[in-house]
Amino acid sequence: GAGVSQSPSNKVTEKGKDVELRCDPISGHTALYWYRQSLGQGLEFLIYFQGNSAPDKSGLPSDRFSAERTGGSVSTLTIQRTQQEDSAVYLCASSLETRGRVGYTFGSGTRLTVV
């Protein structure tokens, strides 16, 4: 597609429920990244996928968070047993080049609210 597409754009869920967030990167981009941004805060790295290599999961805050990327394209971020502190905007980005020499293109994010 023309840009990075994320769905849903907004999600309100009850504490304790599981949620799935989807990211469809720019076609041909080999690197895909998930960040989250809490209100008024900076971007917090979660996980990234680059090509066929094992993903870097070092930013996932707990084992309730997981992500996968199928067929080197679409990625889903799953949060199990959501907590109120999980409320944030979850941003996905993709990049054509995998060594950080070009910037990312971000999707418009999923705003997650846990009530």
Footprint of another protein on residues 39-98 (CB under 8 A)? 41-43, 45, 48, 50, 53, 56, 91, 95, 97-98
- Smaller CB distance to another protein: residue 1 or 103? 103
- Smaller CB distance to another protein: residue 8 or 100? 100
Q: How far is the CB of 75 from another protein (least distance, A)?
A: 15
Q: What is the 3-state secondary structure (H, E, C) of the chain?
A: CCCCEEECCEEEECCCCCEEEEEECCCCCCEEEEEEECCCCCEEEEEEEECCCCCECCCCCCCCEEEEECCCCCEEEEECCCCHHHCEEEEEEEECCCCCCCCCEECCCEEEEEC
- Smaller CB distance to another protein: residue 3 or 16? 3
Note the residues at the interface with another protein (CB under 8 A): 31, 33, 35, 41-43, 45, 48, 50, 53, 56, 91, 95, 97-109
